[in-house]
Each structure stands twice: as structure tokens, then as C-alpha cells.
């Protein structure tokens, strides 16, 4: 099956800093989503981005499907950005396969 690798596994940022999270996947996909898991465990969908670039406020994401990777950019980070960021992919009607996540800690 598809393998998903996320990097870095852990990241500590000073408030106001920028960061880039990476997601590599091993096969062609027709779905890629980025999620943020908040401290209460809720998984929030950030982007549905099988290809191209999208932006939502301080967050943006780019997926280069031909090279099998996606990047999540966080600019001017805030303490509320802390949590775990997951990348998940699938092809066809198969279930999403999740990476192990990047744990982000933003300190004031």
C-alpha cells in the first residue's frame, strides 16, 4: 500500500516564526488532505489538495503530485497553531492512509 512519511517529527518554534512541514508519499494519489489535531484531540481538515497550491490565512499548502510530495507552510506562527499536523492520502475509493504526523509546539 501507499506509504506516507512526514518530516520533521517534532518542531519547536518561537511565536512569529515561519515553518514548512513536508509530506512524501510513495505512489500516485487522487486525494491528499492536511489535518491539524488540537490539544483536545479534534482533527480539523486544513486543506484538500491533491495538486496545486491553496492558501487560507496564515496557512498555505502546495502539492506536487508528479514528484509525490506536499508542503504545508505556516507563517507568523501563534501558540494556537500548536498540535499535531497530519498528512493523509489515498487513491481511488480506498481509505486514507495517514502519516505519523509532525508535532508542533509554538512558544510565546
Partner 1 sequence: SQTIHQWPATLVQPVGSPLSLECTVEGTSNPNLYWYRQAAGRGLQLLFYSVGIGQISSEVPQNLSASRPQDRQFILSSKKLLLSDSGFYLCASRDRRGANVLTFGAGSRLTVL
> One symbol per residue from 71 to 90: x for binding partner 1 (CB under 8 A), - otherwise; what is it?
-------------x-x-x--
The least distance separating partner 1 from the CB of residue 104, rounded to whole angstroms, comes to 12
Q: What are phi and psi of 48, to 5 degrees?
A: -105, 110
Strands (E), the chain: 4-7, 10-14, 19-25, 31-37, 43-48, 52-56, 59-64, 69-74, 83-90, 97-98, 102-107
34 binds partner 1 (CB under 8 A): no
Residues making contact with partner 1 (CB under 8 A): 30-31, 33, 35, 37, 40-45, 48, 50, 84, 86, 88, 93, 95-96, 98, 100-101, 103
Amino acid at each position: 500500500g501507499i506509504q506516507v512519511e512526514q518530516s520533521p517529527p517534532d518542531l519547536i518554534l518561537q511565536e512569529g516564526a515561519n515553518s514548512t512541514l513536508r509530506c512524501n508519499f510513495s505512489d500516485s494519489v487522487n486525494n491528499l488532505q492536511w489535518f491539524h489535531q488540537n490539544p483536545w484531540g479534534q482533527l480539523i481538515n486544513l486543506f484538500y489538495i491533491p495538486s496545486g497550491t491553496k492558501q487560507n490565512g496564515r496557512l498555505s499548502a502546495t502539492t506536487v503530485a508528479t514528484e509525490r510530495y506536499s508542503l504545508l507552510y505556516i507563517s507568523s506562527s501563534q501558540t494556537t497553531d500548536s498540535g499535531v499536523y497530519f498528512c493523509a492520502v489515498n487513491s481511488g475509493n480506498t481509505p486514507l492512509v495517514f502519516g505519523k504526523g509532525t508535532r508542533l509546539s509554538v512558544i510565546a
